[in-house]
Structure 1
Amino acid sequence: MENIILFCLLVGIGSTVILDIWVTVVEKVLGIPPTNWGIVGRWLLGIPKGKLVVDASDTSAPTFIEKALGWIFHYAIGIGYAVLIILFFGAGFIDNPTVLPIFVVGLVLSTLAGLAILMPGLGAGFMGRLLPEWTPMFIYLVVAHTVFSIGQYGFAMLFVYLN
Protein backbone atom coordinates (compact mmCIF):
# COMPACT_ATOMS: atom_id res chain seq x y z
CA MET A 1 0.00 0.00 0.00
CA GLU A 2 2.88 2.34 0.79
CA ASN A 3 4.21 1.81 -2.74
CA ILE A 4 0.84 2.80 -4.22
CA ILE A 5 0.69 5.97 -2.14
CA LEU A 6 4.26 6.95 -3.04
CA PHE A 7 3.60 6.21 -6.72
CA CYS A 8 0.45 8.34 -6.76
CA LEU A 9 2.17 11.23 -5.00
CA LEU A 10 5.24 11.15 -7.27
CA VAL A 11 3.30 10.74 -10.51
CA GLY A 12 0.49 13.12 -9.54
CA ILE A 13 2.63 15.94 -8.19
CA GLY A 14 5.43 15.46 -10.72
CA SER A 15 3.18 15.51 -13.78
CA THR A 16 1.30 18.53 -12.44
CA VAL A 17 4.60 20.38 -12.00
CA ILE A 18 5.49 19.50 -15.61
CA LEU A 19 2.11 20.88 -16.72
CA ASP A 20 2.69 24.08 -14.73
CA ILE A 21 6.14 24.52 -16.28
CA TRP A 22 4.59 24.02 -19.73
CA VAL A 23 1.84 26.60 -19.24
CA THR A 24 4.40 29.06 -17.86
CA VAL A 25 6.56 28.64 -20.98
CA VAL A 26 3.50 29.00 -23.22
CA GLU A 27 2.51 32.17 -21.39
CA LYS A 28 6.01 33.65 -21.79
CA VAL A 29 6.33 32.65 -25.47
CA LEU A 30 2.77 33.01 -26.78
CA GLY A 31 1.15 35.23 -24.16
CA ILE A 32 -1.62 32.70 -23.43
CA PRO A 33 -2.52 33.11 -19.76
CA PRO A 34 -2.61 30.01 -17.57
CA THR A 35 -5.64 28.86 -15.62
CA ASN A 36 -6.50 31.30 -12.86
CA TRP A 37 -6.51 28.90 -9.92
CA GLY A 38 -7.86 31.64 -7.66
CA ILE A 39 -11.04 31.77 -9.74
CA VAL A 40 -11.19 27.97 -9.57
CA GLY A 41 -10.98 28.29 -5.78
CA ARG A 42 -13.82 30.83 -5.89
CA TRP A 43 -15.88 28.37 -7.95
CA LEU A 44 -15.16 25.56 -5.49
CA LEU A 45 -16.18 27.70 -2.53
CA GLY A 46 -19.44 28.55 -4.28
CA ILE A 47 -20.46 24.94 -4.93
CA PRO A 48 -21.60 24.19 -1.33
CA LYS A 49 -23.71 27.36 -1.52
CA GLY A 50 -25.47 26.03 -4.62
CA LYS A 51 -23.48 28.15 -7.08
CA LEU A 52 -22.41 25.60 -9.67
CA VAL A 53 -21.09 28.30 -12.02
CA VAL A 54 -18.71 31.04 -10.89
CA ASP A 55 -20.33 34.48 -10.83
CA ALA A 56 -18.89 36.28 -13.88
CA SER A 57 -20.05 39.64 -12.51
CA ASP A 58 -17.65 39.27 -9.55
CA THR A 59 -14.51 40.83 -11.01
CA SER A 60 -12.72 41.18 -7.67
CA ALA A 61 -9.25 39.71 -7.39
CA PRO A 62 -9.20 36.23 -5.86
CA THR A 63 -8.50 36.15 -2.14
CA PHE A 64 -5.59 34.26 -0.60
CA ILE A 65 -8.01 31.50 0.46
CA GLU A 66 -9.43 31.20 -3.08
CA LYS A 67 -5.93 31.04 -4.56
CA ALA A 68 -4.73 28.49 -2.01
CA LEU A 69 -7.80 26.31 -2.49
CA GLY A 70 -7.48 26.50 -6.27
CA TRP A 71 -3.82 25.44 -6.21
CA ILE A 72 -4.47 22.66 -3.68
CA PHE A 73 -7.32 21.44 -5.89
CA HIS A 74 -5.04 21.55 -8.98
CA TYR A 75 -2.44 19.31 -7.34
CA ALA A 76 -5.03 17.06 -5.69
CA ILE A 77 -6.57 16.45 -9.11
CA GLY A 78 -3.11 15.55 -10.47
CA ILE A 79 -2.72 13.02 -7.67
CA GLY A 80 -6.29 11.84 -8.29
CA TYR A 81 -5.49 10.99 -11.91
CA ALA A 82 -2.56 8.85 -10.73
CA VAL A 83 -4.95 7.09 -8.33
CA LEU A 84 -7.39 6.49 -11.21
CA ILE A 85 -4.68 4.81 -13.26
CA ILE A 86 -4.16 2.31 -10.44
CA LEU A 87 -7.91 1.85 -9.86
CA PHE A 88 -8.68 1.30 -13.56
CA PHE A 89 -5.61 -0.67 -14.58
CA GLY A 90 -4.42 -2.31 -11.36
CA ALA A 91 -1.48 -2.03 -9.01
CA GLY A 92 0.66 -3.97 -11.51
CA PHE A 93 0.93 -0.75 -13.49
CA ILE A 94 3.33 0.54 -10.83
CA ASP A 95 5.93 -2.09 -11.74
CA ASN A 96 5.30 -2.06 -15.49
CA PRO A 97 3.98 1.32 -16.72
CA THR A 98 2.54 1.31 -20.22
CA VAL A 99 1.29 4.07 -22.47
CA LEU A 100 -2.38 3.01 -22.83
CA PRO A 101 -3.42 3.74 -19.21
CA ILE A 102 -1.62 7.08 -19.37
CA PHE A 103 -3.38 7.91 -22.62
CA VAL A 104 -6.81 6.92 -21.27
CA VAL A 105 -6.55 8.70 -17.91
CA GLY A 106 -3.91 11.36 -18.41
CA LEU A 107 -5.05 12.63 -21.79
CA VAL A 108 -8.59 11.52 -22.59
CA LEU A 109 -10.19 11.55 -19.13
CA SER A 110 -8.41 14.68 -17.90
CA THR A 111 -9.24 16.61 -21.08
CA LEU A 112 -12.89 15.56 -20.93
CA ALA A 113 -13.08 16.51 -17.24
CA GLY A 114 -11.73 19.95 -18.05
CA LEU A 115 -14.23 20.40 -20.86
CA ALA A 116 -17.25 18.87 -19.11
CA ILE A 117 -16.74 19.98 -15.49
CA LEU A 118 -14.23 22.80 -15.12
CA MET A 119 -15.21 24.83 -18.20
CA PRO A 120 -18.92 24.90 -17.32
CA GLY A 121 -18.07 25.69 -13.69
CA LEU A 122 -16.01 28.67 -14.79
CA GLY A 123 -18.80 29.94 -17.05
CA ALA A 124 -17.42 28.79 -20.40
CA GLY A 125 -20.27 26.33 -20.98
CA PHE A 126 -20.18 22.60 -21.63
CA MET A 127 -17.06 21.75 -23.65
CA GLY A 128 -16.16 25.46 -23.65
CA ARG A 129 -18.84 26.22 -26.26
CA LEU A 130 -19.32 29.78 -24.94
CA LEU A 131 -15.72 30.77 -25.55
CA PRO A 132 -15.20 33.10 -28.50
CA GLU A 133 -12.09 31.24 -29.72
CA TRP A 134 -13.09 27.62 -29.17
CA THR A 135 -10.73 25.89 -31.60
CA PRO A 136 -7.47 27.41 -30.32
CA MET A 137 -8.61 26.80 -26.73
CA PHE A 138 -9.37 23.17 -27.52
CA ILE A 139 -5.99 22.68 -29.20
CA TYR A 140 -4.25 24.37 -26.25
CA LEU A 141 -6.11 22.12 -23.80
CA VAL A 142 -5.26 18.93 -25.69
CA VAL A 143 -1.59 19.90 -26.01
CA ALA A 144 -1.39 20.84 -22.31
CA HIS A 145 -2.95 17.52 -21.29
CA THR A 146 -0.60 15.69 -23.65
CA VAL A 147 2.30 17.33 -21.79
CA PHE A 148 0.64 16.28 -18.50
CA SER A 149 0.40 12.69 -19.81
CA ILE A 150 4.04 12.67 -20.86
CA GLY A 151 4.85 13.84 -17.33
CA GLN A 152 2.76 11.02 -15.88
CA TYR A 153 4.60 8.44 -17.95
CA GLY A 154 7.98 9.94 -17.19
CA PHE A 155 7.35 9.97 -13.46
CA ALA A 156 5.89 6.44 -13.58
CA MET A 157 9.12 5.29 -15.24
CA LEU A 158 11.14 7.25 -12.67
CA PHE A 159 9.26 5.43 -9.91
CA VAL A 160 10.20 2.09 -11.46
CA TYR A 161 13.82 3.21 -11.73
CA LEU A 162 13.92 4.35 -8.09
CA ASN A 163 12.49 1.06 -6.84
Structure 2
Amino acid sequence: MDSGLDFALRAIAIGVGATAVMDLWALFLKRAFSIPSLDYAWVGRWIGHFRNGRFAHANIGQAATVPGEAILGWGAHYAIGIVFAGLLLTLAGVDWPQSPTPLPAIAFGVVTVVIPFFLMQPAFGFGIAASRTPKPAIARQRSLMAHFSFGVGLYLSALLLASFSS
Protein backbone atom coordinates (compact mmCIF):
# COMPACT_ATOMS: atom_id res chain seq x y z
CA MET A 1 0.00 0.00 0.00
CA ASP A 2 1.19 3.53 -0.74
CA SER A 3 2.81 4.98 2.39
CA GLY A 4 0.84 8.24 2.12
CA LEU A 5 -2.43 6.38 1.82
CA ASP A 6 -1.42 4.02 4.63
CA PHE A 7 -0.61 7.02 6.85
CA ALA A 8 -3.94 8.70 6.05
CA LEU A 9 -5.95 5.53 6.72
CA ARG A 10 -4.15 4.99 10.03
CA ALA A 11 -4.72 8.62 11.05
CA ILE A 12 -8.41 8.35 10.17
CA ALA A 13 -8.92 5.05 12.02
CA ILE A 14 -6.97 6.12 15.10
CA GLY A 15 -8.44 9.63 15.14
CA VAL A 16 -12.03 8.46 14.80
CA GLY A 17 -11.48 5.75 17.42
CA ALA A 18 -9.85 8.13 19.89
CA THR A 19 -12.56 10.74 19.43
CA ALA A 20 -15.21 8.07 19.97
CA VAL A 21 -13.50 7.04 23.23
CA MET A 22 -13.53 10.69 24.30
CA ASP A 23 -17.25 10.89 23.48
CA LEU A 24 -18.00 7.66 25.34
CA TRP A 25 -16.20 9.07 28.39
CA ALA A 26 -18.33 12.24 28.15
CA LEU A 27 -21.48 10.14 27.82
CA PHE A 28 -20.49 8.11 30.90
CA LEU A 29 -19.93 11.32 32.91
CA LYS A 30 -23.29 12.69 31.78
CA ARG A 31 -25.24 9.51 32.56
CA ALA A 32 -23.47 8.53 35.78
CA PHE A 33 -22.84 11.95 37.34
CA SER A 34 -24.95 14.45 35.35
CA ILE A 35 -21.76 16.21 34.23
CA PRO A 36 -22.43 18.01 30.95
CA SER A 37 -19.89 18.08 28.13
CA LEU A 38 -19.20 20.68 25.50
CA ASP A 39 -22.12 21.31 23.15
CA TYR A 40 -20.48 20.64 19.78
CA ALA A 41 -23.13 22.80 18.12
CA TRP A 42 -21.17 25.68 19.66
CA VAL A 43 -18.10 24.53 17.75
CA GLY A 44 -20.20 24.56 14.57
CA ARG A 45 -21.59 27.97 15.44
CA TRP A 46 -18.06 29.29 15.99
CA ILE A 47 -16.85 27.86 12.66
CA GLY A 48 -20.02 29.02 10.91
CA HIS A 49 -19.27 32.62 11.86
CA PHE A 50 -15.82 32.45 10.23
CA ARG A 51 -17.33 33.21 6.81
CA ASN A 52 -18.42 36.59 8.20
CA GLY A 53 -14.95 37.30 9.56
CA ARG A 54 -16.00 36.66 13.16
CA PHE A 55 -13.52 34.48 15.05
CA ALA A 56 -14.27 35.42 18.67
CA HIS A 57 -17.45 35.96 20.66
CA ALA A 58 -18.36 37.50 23.99
CA ASN A 59 -20.45 34.39 24.68
CA ILE A 60 -20.79 31.68 22.02
CA GLY A 61 -24.01 30.46 23.64
CA GLN A 62 -25.64 33.83 22.91
CA ALA A 63 -24.21 34.22 19.39
CA ALA A 64 -26.58 33.93 16.45
CA THR A 65 -27.22 30.33 15.47
CA VAL A 66 -25.85 28.97 12.22
CA PRO A 67 -27.79 26.57 9.98
CA GLY A 68 -26.46 23.04 10.44
CA GLU A 69 -24.24 24.05 13.36
CA ALA A 70 -24.61 20.72 15.18
CA ILE A 71 -23.54 18.70 12.14
CA LEU A 72 -20.72 21.15 11.41
CA GLY A 73 -19.55 21.01 15.03
CA TRP A 74 -19.61 17.23 15.31
CA GLY A 75 -17.87 16.91 11.94
CA ALA A 76 -15.18 19.35 13.06
CA HIS A 77 -14.79 17.46 16.34
CA TYR A 78 -14.00 14.23 14.48
CA ALA A 79 -11.86 15.99 11.84
CA ILE A 80 -9.77 17.55 14.61
CA GLY A 81 -9.36 14.11 16.17
CA ILE A 82 -8.06 12.80 12.84
CA VAL A 83 -5.63 15.71 12.48
CA PHE A 84 -4.36 15.15 16.02
CA ALA A 85 -3.91 11.43 15.30
CA GLY A 86 -1.89 12.34 12.21
CA LEU A 87 0.30 14.63 14.31
CA LEU A 88 0.85 11.86 16.85
CA LEU A 89 1.80 9.43 14.08
CA THR A 90 4.24 11.99 12.72
CA LEU A 91 5.82 12.67 16.11
CA ALA A 92 5.86 9.09 17.42
CA GLY A 93 7.57 7.73 14.32
CA VAL A 94 6.83 5.08 11.74
CA ASP A 95 7.30 2.13 14.11
CA TRP A 96 4.91 3.29 16.84
CA PRO A 97 1.64 2.31 15.08
CA GLN A 98 2.90 -1.25 14.52
CA SER A 99 3.66 -1.66 18.24
CA PRO A 100 1.96 1.19 20.10
CA THR A 101 2.83 2.07 23.68
CA PRO A 102 0.60 4.13 25.96
CA LEU A 103 2.96 6.94 27.01
CA PRO A 104 3.27 8.80 23.68
CA ALA A 105 -0.49 8.58 23.04
CA ILE A 106 -1.61 9.64 26.50
CA ALA A 107 1.00 12.40 26.78
CA PHE A 108 0.03 13.71 23.35
CA GLY A 109 -3.67 13.54 24.24
CA VAL A 110 -3.08 15.62 27.36
CA VAL A 111 -0.96 18.15 25.43
CA THR A 112 -3.81 18.70 22.96
CA VAL A 113 -5.67 20.52 25.75
CA VAL A 114 -3.69 23.62 24.74
CA ILE A 115 -6.08 24.05 21.79
CA PRO A 116 -9.23 24.52 23.87
CA PHE A 117 -7.36 26.39 26.63
CA PHE A 118 -5.69 28.94 24.38
CA LEU A 119 -7.80 29.01 21.21
CA MET A 120 -11.33 27.75 21.56
CA GLN A 121 -12.24 28.82 25.10
CA PRO A 122 -11.03 32.40 24.57
CA ALA A 123 -12.82 32.52 21.18
CA PHE A 124 -16.03 31.27 22.82
CA GLY A 125 -15.81 34.10 25.37
CA PHE A 126 -14.76 31.80 28.22
CA GLY A 127 -11.28 33.31 28.66
CA ILE A 128 -7.89 31.64 28.56
CA ALA A 129 -8.18 28.20 30.15
CA ALA A 130 -11.82 28.91 31.06
CA SER A 131 -10.77 31.80 33.32
CA ARG A 132 -14.06 33.66 32.71
CA THR A 133 -16.34 30.73 33.56
CA PRO A 134 -18.13 30.46 36.92
CA LYS A 135 -15.84 27.62 38.09
CA PRO A 136 -12.58 27.78 36.10
CA ALA A 137 -10.79 25.05 38.07
CA ILE A 138 -13.61 22.57 37.41
CA ALA A 139 -13.76 23.54 33.73
CA ARG A 140 -9.99 23.02 33.42
CA GLN A 141 -10.17 19.67 35.18
CA ARG A 142 -12.95 18.52 32.84
CA SER A 143 -10.96 19.61 29.79
CA LEU A 144 -7.88 17.77 31.03
CA MET A 145 -9.93 14.64 31.75
CA ALA A 146 -11.49 14.80 28.28
CA HIS A 147 -8.10 15.11 26.61
CA PHE A 148 -6.63 12.38 28.82
CA SER A 149 -9.48 10.13 27.61
CA PHE A 150 -8.62 11.15 24.04
CA GLY A 151 -5.02 10.06 24.69
CA VAL A 152 -6.22 6.73 26.04
CA GLY A 153 -8.36 6.45 22.92
CA LEU A 154 -5.35 7.15 20.70
CA TYR A 155 -3.50 4.28 22.35
CA LEU A 156 -6.43 1.84 22.33
CA SER A 157 -7.28 2.64 18.71
CA ALA A 158 -3.66 2.20 17.60
CA LEU A 159 -3.46 -1.06 19.56
CA LEU A 160 -6.65 -2.34 17.94
CA LEU A 161 -5.43 -1.31 14.50
CA ALA A 162 -2.05 -3.00 15.09
CA SER A 163 -3.83 -6.22 16.06
CA PHE A 164 -5.48 -6.29 12.63
CA SER A 165 -2.21 -5.49 10.85
CA SER A 166 -0.28 -8.38 12.40
**Structures share a fold, TM > 0.5?**
yes
2:42–2:70 CA contact under 8 A, matched in 1: yes
> What is the aligned-residue identity percentage?
27
Say which SS state the counterpart of residue 126 (structure 2) adopts. Answer: coil
How do 1:85-124 and structure 2 match up within 5 A?
85-108=88-111, 110-124=112-126
Q: What residue identity is the alignment partner of 2:57? A: V
Change beyond 3 A, Cα 1:134–1:60 = closer
Q: What residue identity is the alignment partner of 2:17? A: G
Do structure 1's residue 129 and structure 2's residue 131 form an aligned pair?
Answer: yes
2:20 equivalent in structure 1: 17
1:4–1:94 CA contact under 8 A, matched in 2: no
2:45 equivalent in structure 1: 42
1:28 equivalent in structure 2: 31
Q: TM-score, length-normalised on structure 2?
A: 0.88
> Which deviates the most, 48-57 or 136-145?
48-57
Cα distance in 2, alignment partners of residues 157 and 58 from structure 1: 38
Give the alignment partner of residue 152 of structure 2, picking from 145, 150, 153. 150
Cα distance in 2, alignment partners of residues 136 and 18 from structure 1: 21
2:72 equivalent in structure 1: 69
Q: What residue identity is the alignment partner of 1:133? A: K
1:14–1:155 CA contact under 8 A, matched in 2: yes
For the aligned residues, what is the CA RMSD? 1.9
Q: What residue identity is the alignment partner of 2:92? A: F
Q: What residue identity is the alignment partner of 1:145? A: H
Cα distance in 2, alignment partners of residues 58 and 136 from structure 1: 19
The number of equivalent residue pairs is: 162
Do structure 1's residue 54 and structure 2's residue 57 form an aligned pair?
Answer: yes
Cα distance in 1, alignment partners of residues 27 and 41 from structure 2: 16
Say which SS state the counterpart of residue 36 (structure 2) adopts. Answer: coil
